[in-house]
């Protein structure tokens, strides 16, 4: 019994969107890493961002939600194409981000469900930011400088 004819390109593996829930980043070749545009590292019990993430040079979206991260290191600064960073439900606070994160070209930043008591000043320096989500934190106040971000 024959099945339907495959559509051209139907059996091609598309790695532009890669979810590595509970998997090891070290298993991928450098060529494969260059094909990835969205990297999902949720539920991996990450304490820090693995240095290997910096080798995914083409990613525009990074989701590191639902880990136990208390710090995002400077390796994130090497992700020059990154537009969306989702880091919900971790242990991040105002001292958890690199000082230079303000130079990144982020458009969407979601830091909901962490332990922020104030919005870090370096976030206020991100000139391309369109969406900032900080719900579910311990914010004591909203800085007046946030008005400068409204376009």
Q: What count of other Cβ atoms lies within 10 Å of the Cβ of residue 12?
A: 7
pLDDT at 25: 65
What is the rounded distance in angstroms from the CA atom of residue 58 to the CA atom of residue 98? 20
What is the rounded distance in angstroms from the CA atom of residue 50 to the CA atom of residue 59? 15
pLDDT at 135: 96
SS3 128: coil
pLDDT at 1: 40
pLDDT at 146: 87
- pTM comes to 0.82
Strand runs labelled E in the chain: 17-19, 38-40, 61-63, 84-86, 108-110, 131-133
pLDDT at 92: 97
What percentage of the chain's residues is helix, strand, coil (to nearest 5)? 20, 15, 65
pLDDT at 150: 65
Domain 17-149, second-level architecture = Alpha-Beta Horseshoe (3.80)
What is the rounded distance in angstroms from the CA atom of residue 11 to the CA atom of residue 39? 22
For the chain, the structural domain boundaries read 17-149
pLDDT at 28: 73
pLDDT at 61: 97
Q: Which residues of the chain have pLDDT under 70?
A: 1-27, 150-151
**Do 102 and 80 form a contact (C-beta atoms < 8 A)?**
no
């Amino acid at each position: 019994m024959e099945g339907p004819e495959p559509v051209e390109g139907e059996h091609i593996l598309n790695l532009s969107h890669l979810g590595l829930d509970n998997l090891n980043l070290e298993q991928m070749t450098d060529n494969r890493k260059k094909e990835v545009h969205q990297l999902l590292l949720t539920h991996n019990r990450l304490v820090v961002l693995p240095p290997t993430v910096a080798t995914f040079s083409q990613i525009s979206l990074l989701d590191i939600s639902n880990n136990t991260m208390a710090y995002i290191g400077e390796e994130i600064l090497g992700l020059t194409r990154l537009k969306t960073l989702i880091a919900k439900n971790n242990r991040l606070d105002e001292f958890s981000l690199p000082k230079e994160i303000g130079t990144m070209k982020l458009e969407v930043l979601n830091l909901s469900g962490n332990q922020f008591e104030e919005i870090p000043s370096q976030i206020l320096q991100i000139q391309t930011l369109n969406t900032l989500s900080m719900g579910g934190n311990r914010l004591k106040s909203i800085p007046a400088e946030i008005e400068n971000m409204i376009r």
